[in-house]
Amino acid sequence: MKIRVLPDDVANKIAAGEVVERPVSVVRELVDNSLDAGSTDITVYVKQGGRRLIRVVDDGCGMERDDAILAFERFATSKIKNASDLTQIKTFGFRGEALAAIASISRVELLTSNVRVRIEGGKLRSVDDSNTAKGTDISIEHLFFNTPARRKFLSSDRTEVEKIKTFINQISLAHFNTRFRLFVDGEEVINLFRANSQFERARQLFAGTLCEVNSENIVGLIGHPASVTKSKVSFTVLVNGRVVSDRLILRAIRDGFDSMLKESEQPRGYISLSIPFHEIDVNVHPQKLEVRFVNSNHIFSVVKDAVRGSLKELIGSRPITPHVVVGKSTPISPVDPPETPGFQTPESLEIPYDRLRYIGQYARCFLLFEADEGLYLMDMHAAHERINFDHIRNNLNRSSQGVLISEEISCTEEELEKLKETAVPGLNFKFTKNGVILKSVPACISHLSPKIIIEELLIAISSDGLFERYKSLEDRVAARLACHKSVRSGDELSKEEAFSLVDTSREVLTRCPHGRPFWVKFSVDQVGRWFGR
């Protein structure tokens, strides 16, 4: 079979398959260009989930006539000039592939600096005069019109719009002094006014209790562990103002939460890293979603420690008052903060267990009761976790039982050495060449799989706990295992189950193993003050 050079139109369509996965890929590329042009006002219009139309209008510097035509040539860019520039990329667009790839699978109209350029399927159709004096107005119509195989793999309009909304919210964090608007089928769905700071912009986006992260070139806001979600896009990572999806950083964030997050749970909030440009490589993914770090171990440690430190400040003896969130379409103006109600520490709070009247469950996370003119809230997972911790800790040294099903758990050489040097009452191992087999376990944790027990034991051996609360290995093991089989956020409890949990919690401390309180009381006066009564 003869080797031949592909025609430009075929090469462009192949590149389009890498750069343009779906409508949000187009939005990202066009918005990146707008930001590189110094725009302070960016409006995105979408029809039929982006299939019919994606239009981006900005107030940036625009392009001269010749540049507007050349911009759609493959590898044409104003962002870099030679190979050495790839080590110091400071712009969001730089590859010179995006516009050519987009134009090859759509119909494009570009208005900028008194010129109108029309391109269809990668072919230049016309260049005319226009009355566009400032900024850029670019429309992408009928995306994938000449690549129907790609078009049929798109999700529903609603799903594609949600991805676009997520991206605009995320990029707006990095560019808080830029106004972002999104219109979907003629209806305005996002209107983010310019903010005075990144934290102020974050308050337009995130509700609930958040703690500030501010450590060694890292800033951000982290949501309370009780406010986790199932959504994988609930947390935003920015590196030098670039929205990325980096596994290293996301893993470091999860490790910062210690055992307070399960694999199915996702934190809320964002972090923004400022790193010298020569210490990262952003040219590793066609859609610029990933980065590589020169010193990845250092980045991992710094992010994990920053998250841990912030959570330590958040989860103290005093619950934090919920913040007022500014509506997305409401201009922000300074207001006097409302009076913060006082709280009793969990240790001084007396719960009238026998007089509690069950109101219901809020957010499938908190149990609501009232008694003696007070509103009582219980964090059901934290309470159950405390109950399980005490049960495991009190019974860890007691009777053990054999494991019915022998299962070899794979371990590294380092992990095997740690296990050989570790003694936990009731845990007996048989070591193999590549792992370990759990032979017997304390009866109090026999309901857990051997894999979970080994994994949590290894973490407990290597960790001194999020709050350095537990010095003994037995305490740390109990704290790790207590999370398993506890009721989770999202579980729905019946009235009988709610009261059963309350009754069982009478005899334990009113803090979870990580130090979080699981009872909070609000008086009628306190609630009234929230509403200015």
Give the pLDDT confidence score for residue 165 in this predicted structure.
Answer: 93
- Choose one of 280, 314, 348: the last residue of a domain: 314
pLDDT at 180: 95
Dist. CA 136–CA 350, nearest whole Å: 64
Quickly state the pLDDT bin for 48 (edges 50, 70, 90). Answer: very high
Confidence of residue 360 (pLDDT cuts 50, 70, 90): very high
- For residues 399 and 263, membership in a common domain is answered with no
Same domain? For 147 and 238 the reply is: no
Give the per-residue pLDDT at 451: 85
Within-domain flag for 3: no
- Of these ranges, 223-237, 356-370, 501-515, the one predicted with the greatest mean pLDDT is 356-370
* 52 and 137 inside one domain: yes
In a domain, 337, yes or no: no
Domain CATH code at residue 260: 3.30.230.10
Kindly list the distances between the CA atom of residue 252 and the CA atoms of 212, 216, 236, 271, 464, in Å, as whole numbers in the listed order. Answer: 17, 15, 13, 12, 16
Looking at residue 283, its pLDDT comes to 57
CA angle centred on 54, ends 327 and 168, rounded to 5°: 35
Does residue 2 fall inside a structural domain? no
Is it the case that residue 181 has pLDDT exceeding 90?
yes
Residue 489 pLDDT: 76
Co-location of 22 and 146 in the same domain? yes
Task: Specify the DSSP class assigned to residue 49.
Answer: G
CA-CA distance, 26 to 23, in Å (whole number)?
5
Between 179 and 309, the higher pLDDT residue: 179
Domain interval for residue 455: 357-521
Higher pLDDT, 205 or 46: 46
Assign residue 405 the CATH number of its domain.
Answer: 3.30.1540.20
Residue 40 has, within 13 A of its CA and on its CB side, a CA count of 3
| Per-residue model confidence (pLDDT) at position 49 | 92
CB atoms within 10 A of CB 177: 11
**Residues 108-167: pLDDT tens digits?**
999 988 899 999 988 888 888 877 768 899 999 988 877 776 676 788 888 999 999 999
Average pLDDT, the chain: 78
Q: Are residues 255 and 388 in the same domain?
A: no
* pLDDT at residue 80, rounded to an integer: 39
Is residue 404 located within the same domain as residue 503?
A: yes
Say what the pLDDT of residue 15 is: 46
In terms of domains, do 301 and 164 share one? Answer: no
Mind listing the pLDDT tens digit for each residue in 123-134? 888 888 877 768
Contacts of 422 (CB under 8 A, 6+ apart): 457, 461, 473
- The residue out of 132, 161, 192 marking a domain boundary is 192
Q: Is the pLDDT of residue 44 over 80?
A: yes
Where residue 52 falls among pLDDT bands split at 50, 70, 90?
A: very high
Domain shared by 244 and 387, yes or no? no
Which pLDDT score is estimated for 525?
84
Task: Compute CA distances 487 → 151, 407, 420, 453, 492, whole Å.
Answer: 43, 27, 33, 18, 9
Residues 215 and 159 grouped into a single domain: no
User: What does the DSSP 8-state code read for residue 258?
Assistant: G
Q: Among 143, 164, 192, which residue terminates a domain? A: 192
What phi and psi, each to the nearest 5 degrees, are found at residue 356?
-70, 135
Does position 11 have pLDDT exceeding 80, yes or no?
no
pLDDT digits 0-9 by tens, 411-434: 888 888 888 888 887 888 888 888
Residues 6+ apart with CB under 8 A from 164: 23, 24, 27, 44, 46, 50, 182
Q: Does any domain span residue 168?
A: yes
Of residues 96 and 322, which shows the higher confidence score?
Answer: 96
* Average pLDDT of the segment spanning 256-267: 75
Regarding whether 294 and 223 lie in a shared domain, the answer is yes
pLDDT at 317 (0 to 100):
33
Q: Are residues 144 and 256 in the same domain?
A: no
At 291, the pLDDT band (50, 70, 90 cuts) reads confident
Q: Which of 67-71, 80-84, 149-153, 281-285 has the highest mean pLDDT?
A: 67-71
Using DSSP's 3-state secondary structure scheme, residue 428 falls into: strand
At 309-329, the pLDDT tens digits run 887 766 543 333 333 333 333
526 found inside a domain: no
In a domain, 532, yes or no: no
Domain count, the chain: 3
Confidence band, pLDDT 50/70/90 cuts, at residue 380? very high
Residue with tokens 């309370």: 224
The answer on 119 and 16 residing in a single domain is: yes
Q: Where are the alpha helices (DSSP H) in 175-295?
A: 198-205, 247-256
Question: How many Cβ atoms sit within 10 Å of the Cβ of residue 421?
Answer: 8
Residue 71 falls within a domain, yes or no?
yes
- 199 part of a folded domain: no
Q: DSSP readout, 140-159? A: EESTTTT-HHHHTT---HHH
**Size of the chain, expressed as the number of residues it contains:** 533
Between 223-237, 445-459, 510-524, the lowest mean confidence (pLDDT) is in: 223-237
Structure tokens at 448: 């857990």
